Amino acid sequence: MAARSSNDAELSARLAPWLARALGTDPDSLTIPVIDRSLTAGFSAETILFEAAWHERRPIQKPFVLRRQLAGQDLLPTPTLKHQWNAMAAMARFPHIPVPGLVGIDETGQVLGDPFLVMERLPGKVLPVKPNYNVSGWLHDLPESERKRVWLNAVRAIARVNRLDWRDGFQCLNPVPGREPGLDTYLEWLESWVRWAVGERQNPICDAALDYLKGNRPANQPVDVLWGDPNSSNMLFSDRGDVTGLLDWEFASLGPGEIDLAWWMMFDELLSAGNGLPRLAGLPEREEIIAVYSQALGRPVVAMEYYDILVWLRMAIANMRLVDRQVERGRFKADNDAWLYTPPAVTLARRLGMDDIEVSEDFMAFITLLTG
């Protein structure tokens, strides 16, 4: 594996010949005049925006996105770059699912020092998190009726993914290859992720959540195609509020579509009540969101309280890995309880009827480290 490219000039020099080959154009004519590293979101990959210019009978300049897998920043036990590629390649066959066009993937690390993929950049804008869309930004500036329309457009976009037939080229998303896809298999994958993340430590909140999920699983749940991470940062919108892009397929999987719906609503709660903020006026309430999603999905939605527990457990594990990753990098003290007493863990304990817990001082110090 090559040494990691560390600056824009080096990145451009290494990337340009590879990109020219991926595009099937003359390497001598291709340059990368614009590189933007301002997008730092993402648990386990770096996102870099760039533009490339070349000649094919006329000058061409197009925007692209590079996602680079970072060693030692893994959210999941196994690298997910190829999984994301496979998910988007399968989705691309359906014009009503707006995923980025794929350009190329390097799994060797020989080009930039880490595996990466390049895709076309879609038009549109995300719902902002910093600043939070409940406080300011383009959604906040819309009339209340338009806010509702945008929100329900997003909900319908999630349902369109979930409505795809998993047997139509999505078998590669099965979370446990070789097993029959479905809720049982999804829970098997989820438990393996929890055990890997917790390691030799004790986490009674996660244990209780797993016991609940295994003991209360609803019967006869469908197998749907799951996006895995539908949230406001992973969806692009036009100026009219129509959905123009669905991004970040790291958690794409197979299981009941209610998982994706619960994840979307969990993020909405995190960005409002979870931040001590009132929810933006005009956004539809939970009952209407579920009804619109169900209509777009083409079947009734069931057991949402169950899937609420499931997604809060996923978020608790993601927070745990976020803390552990900084410890592994030497940026945060090893002796901490921030990995255990996180905001999602507090919510999870409350929903499970456990003794009340509070977010720890260590976790607040950890957040100061990340944002300071």
CATH number of 8-120: 3.30.200.20
Examine the pLDDT at 18 and tell me if it is beyond 60.
Answer: yes
Residue 72 pLDDT: 65
Q: Say if CB 98 and CB 245 are below 8 A apart.
A: yes
Examine the pLDDT at 371 and tell me if it is beyond 90.
Answer: no
* Amino acid identity for residue 241 in this structure: G
Residue 80 pLDDT: 81
Q: What is the dihedral of CA 317, 323, 327, 329, to 10 degrees?
A: 90
What is the radius of gyration, based on Cα positions, of the chain?
21
List all residues 6 or more positions away from 148 whose beta carbon is below 8 Å from its beta carbon. Answer: 282, 283, 284
Q: How far apart are CA 39 and CA 62, in angstroms?
A: 18
Q: How far apart are CA 222 and CA 166, in angstroms?
A: 10
Q: Say if CB 134 and CB 279 are below 8 A apart.
A: yes
Residue 6 pLDDT: 67
Q: Say if CB 76 and CB 45 are below 8 A apart.
A: no
Q: Say if CB 111 and CB 13 are below 8 A apart.
A: no
pTM (2 d.p.): 0.95
Residue 71 pLDDT: 72
Q: Say if CB 156 and CB 194 are below 8 A apart.
A: no
Query: Predicted confidence band at 73 (pLDDT cuts at 50, 70, 90)?
Result: low
Q: Say if CB 258 and CB 301 are below 8 A apart.
A: yes
Q: Which helix (H) or strand (E) holds 246?
A: strand 243-246
- Phi/psi at 69 (5° precision): -75, 125
3-state secondary structure of 303: coil
Alpha helices, H only, 199-279:
204-215, 258-271
Degrees, nearest 5: CA angle 137-140-146: 125
Per-residue pLDDT averaged across 247-255, rounded?
97
Residue 250 pLDDT: 94
Q: How far apart are CA 105 and CA 115, in angstroms?
A: 8
Examine the pLDDT at 41 and tell me if it is beyond 60.
Answer: no
Q: How far apart are CA 89 and CA 173, in angstroms?
A: 12
Alpha helices, H only, 5-80:
8-23
Q: How far apart are CA 157 and CA 166, in angstroms?
A: 17
Degrees, nearest 5: CA angle 314-316-317: 65
Tokens representing 265 are 């609503």
- Cis peptide bond prior to 131, omega within 30° of 0: yes
pLDDT digits (tens, 9 = 90+) for 268-300: 999 999 989 999 999 999 999 999 999 999 999
pLDDT digits (tens, 9 = 90+) for 118-129: 999 999 999 988
Q: Residue 90: name the closest of 77, 99, 81, 103 by CA.
A: 99
pLDDT digits (tens, 9 = 90+) for 201-250: 999 999 999 999 999 999 999 999 999 999 999 999 999 999 999 999 99
Residue 296 pLDDT: 98
Mean pLDDT rounded to a whole number for the chain: 94
Given the structure tokens 């055990």, which residue do they identify? 195
Tokens representing 357 are 């817990």
Given the structure tokens 């925006």, which residue do they identify? 49
Q: How far apart are CA 71 and CA 75, in angstroms?
A: 11
